[in-house]
Structure 1
Amino acid sequence: MDGISISNIMLWTGALITSAATVYFGAVLTGFYKEPLMARFRRYGEERRPAPAISFAVSLGIWAIMMTLIMRVLTQQILLLQNTLLPLIFSILSLMAFGAAIAMNHFESLRVMLPRWYFDLLLIASREERRLIAYAWLRLPRKMRWRLNGDQAAFRVWADMVRITVIYGARDPDDPWAQWV
């Protein structure tokens, strides 16, 4: 095997896995994937607040370390990349990501600030309203969930409509028995 070894395969596999984890946590952090945080609202008992920004920073740091190792291998094998500073750049990126994770872990305000939609729901909705929003999220069709994942303003309007329904109660205008209740 010319140039392919077990260590290179493991290195590329690790890079692929950390890339996928970084993209996943980035989607959760930006609000393009709301499922994991909505599932937390559905839990009963004490509410524990997640910190997707810390998870993203740690996965970004591990990804940057993997890219540093890959760039070291590539700079030794490819003549055009020998005089580049790519391994140094990825090393600095990993240090910055781990430093950001430590800072976010230390300061509560940084931890709960992202994703923005989650922080807004914590401020405006009660625990019961957040739980009912999470259960209403499950009732939405998949295409509608994807639409609300991508459009933060539409999600905010939808969440407000669910809250209004919770506060004032839902009523069927075609129910003939509703007038006697």
Structure 2
Amino acid sequence: MVAIPVILVSVIFLTRSVLIVIGWLKSPVIRTFEQYGDPEQVYMPLTGLLFWAGTLAISLGVWVSILASLSFPLVLLGFLLVMTTLLIFQNPDRAAPWYYRIFRLPRWYHQLRERTTRYERRRIAYAWLRMPWRAQLTYNSDDRAFFIWADYIIMGTVMDEEDALFLNSRGDPT
């Protein structure tokens, strides 16, 4: 049976997507902050959630229809979810304004985007990637502690920028 491994993989990645949406898994979102380039990639976690829910619905529908010899409408729902996800991936610029009117989760992501610059978010991403695994687990589950940690990174960024401006104004070579 091919459907059982697909169901297992879908459940695993659907669980991962749910953890991202509710804010208990921050690493995939923070990794998007470290990218360079003109258009900043806006992270849309609902697309992964829809894709894996659609994949699970399709595989469960096929599995149930084989076992019970019945047509099962879950396949159609799964197909619609996967097609919606593909449309969002193909047109992220057109989907983003509608996406954020409807879906503003995870909250910590939107709060961080509103109060930081792109440079500060990139510094947060680099610090997060160097952080030990246990510390990441602590900050994943506690948004308040995460924002305190992020504020320290932001203060370090501001201090670093001010030091560079101070040294340049004195004429010191850098």
Q: TM (normalized to structure 2)?
A: 0.71
Which deviates the most, 161-170 or 26-35? 161-170
Q: Percent identity, aligned pairs only?
A: 26
Letter in 1 for 2:140: N
In structure 2, what is the equivalent of residue 121 of structure 1? 112
Q: Aligned in 2, Cα 1:43/1:103: closer, same or farther, shift over 3 Å?
A: closer
2:42 maps to 1:44: no
Q: 1:30 aligns with which of 13, 22, 36?
A: 22
2:78 pairs with 94, 110, 114, which one?
A: 94
After superposition, the Cα gap between the structure-2 partners of 1:154 and 1:97, relative to the gap in structure 1 and judged at 3 Å, is: farther
Q: How does 1:77-156 map to 2 (within 5 A)?
A: 87-88=72-73, 90=74, 94=78, 97=81, 101=85, 107-112=95-100, 113-156=104-147
In the alignment, the residues of structure 1 paired with residue 143 and residue 79 of structure 2 have an alpha-carbon distance, to the nearest angstrom, of 31
Which structure's CA Rg is the greater one? 1
Deviations 1:13-51 (A, max 9, x none): 221222222222222222222222222211222222232
Point out where structure 1 has 5 or more consecutive residues left out of the alignment.
1-8, 77-81, 171-181
Residue correspondences, number: 152
Structure 2, unpaired ranges of 5+ = 162-174
Rounded to whole Å, the distance in 1 between the matches of 2:134 and 2:2 is 37
More displaced, 22-31 or 115-124? 22-31
Matches of 2:138 and 2:95, distance apart in 1: 33
Work out the CA distance in 2 between the residues paired with 1:153 and 1:99. Answer: 37
Q: TM-score, normalised by structure 1?
A: 0.68
- The answer (yes or no) to whether the contact 2:53–2:78 under 8 Å persists in 1 is yes
- Aligned counterparts of 2:142 and 2:68: Cα–Cα separation in 1: 42
1:125-173 deviation per Cα after TM superposition (whole angstroms, max 9, x unaligned): 0011001111111232210101111122221222122212322459xxx
Aligned counterpart, 1:15: 7
